[in-house]
Amino acid sequence: MIVTTDQLYKVAYKKFAIGAYNINNLEQSMGLFRGCIQSKAPFIIQLSKGARGYTDKRMLEAIIRTAEVIFPEAIFAVHLDHGDEATCYDCIDSGFYSSVMIDASHESFDENIAITKRVVDRAHAKGVSVEAELGMLGGVEEDIKVDEGHACLTNPDEAVEFVKRSGCDSLAAAIGTSHGAYKFKGQQSLRFDVIEAISQKVPGMPIVMHGSSSVPIEEVQRINAAGGKLDPSARGVDENEYLPAAKLGVTKVNIDTDGRLVWTRVHREFFRDKPAEFDFRPPGKVFMQAYADFIAHKNEKLGSAGQLDAVQASVGG
């Protein structure tokens, strides 16, 4: 059942975090649904601009609508990840999306507010909620590369004004993470002081954590042992920090890179061990199961595992 993102936030806020997983294709979608059913977790499916253009945006919508029929017990929201203004309008007008993210964080403070407010007005008129970003994460956001020197943490005082003037429904905050596999050079930790300050100054506002992959060292080592060339010093977010962050108001946790690592590990190992194979279904089957297990594990760490009944009771479906 597709629900609104707000319905999920209402149940989760300050108790646990909802996993927001990017999907691009059929195998990833099957693994995601299976993993969430396996762990009895509500979830958010998110589609980036790149994912929508990978084949055809209608293909992803058809996959998700079909998965809803195949897995009637699943409860999830559908979200646009890192949208520009035009893509937000396309998603709002489609009637398919529960929420959109407008990412104008690279603009000036006032311009970010102005763009976000325009999207909020149009989204709210259609019952769609809006995630907006304040502060800048390092790494790559869609086509925009933010180098570490220009990344900046969200200022909690600015967050108060930003939320008030833009009318956004959730806040993507820069709290020490960055996108991709290479997040931390030295100390690996979230900025709990910033999370706490935002949640005190903007009470009730769900905080969204981008760049939440943990980049497990074992995964990197297995990929490299099967012919990969990833930087072995790559580090992500400590999974044991998800739940403490959730208790402080981090309600949506975006994970994409870790799923890509699962795909890479499965396929590299499969073809290393079976060099004579050329059928894509055997590794595809291994991947779907590995992806389901990965999702179920993440949901345990986020505290969303086992919460399906609570969400069902809350939405009254």
Task: Please identify, among the stretches 44-52, 61-69, 155-163, 301-309, the one whose residues bind ligand G3H according to the rule CB under 6 A.
Answer: 44-52
Can residue 180 be called a binding residue for ligand 13P (CB under 6 A)?
A: yes
CB of 180 to ligand 13P, least distance (A): 5
Which of 278, 272, 258 shows the shortest CA–CA distance to 226?
Answer: 272
Pick the closer one to ligand 13P by CB: 40 or 265.
265
Q: Is 81 annotated as catalytic?
A: yes
CB of 238 to ligand G3H, least distance (A): 19
Question: 149-174: b or e for each residue (b if 16 or more CB lie within 10 Å)?
Answer: eebebbbbebbeebbeebbbbbbbbb
Whether the Cβ atoms of residue 19 and residue 255 lie closer than 8 Å to each other: yes
Dihedral sign, CA of 269, 272, 277, 280?
Answer: positive
Nearest-5° Cα angle at 236, 242 to 262: 95
In the region spanning residues 27 to 86, those forming contacts with ligand 13P, defined by CB under 6 A, are: 81-82
Distance of alpha carbon 274 from alpha carbon 262, whole angstroms? 18
* Binding letters toward ligand 13P, positions 195-234, x by CB under 6 A: ---------------xxxx---------------------
For 84, 212, 249, 295, the CA distances from 18, given in Å and listed in that order, are 23, 12, 11, 12
Can residue 48 be called a binding residue for ligand G3H (CB under 6 A)?
A: yes
State the binding partner of 213 from Zn ion, ligand G3H, ligand 13P, none, CB within 5 to 8 A by kind. Answer: ligand 13P
Q: Could you list the active site residues?
A: 81
Residue ranges in contact with ligand 13P by CB under 6 A: 22, 81-82, 179-180, 210-213, 254-258
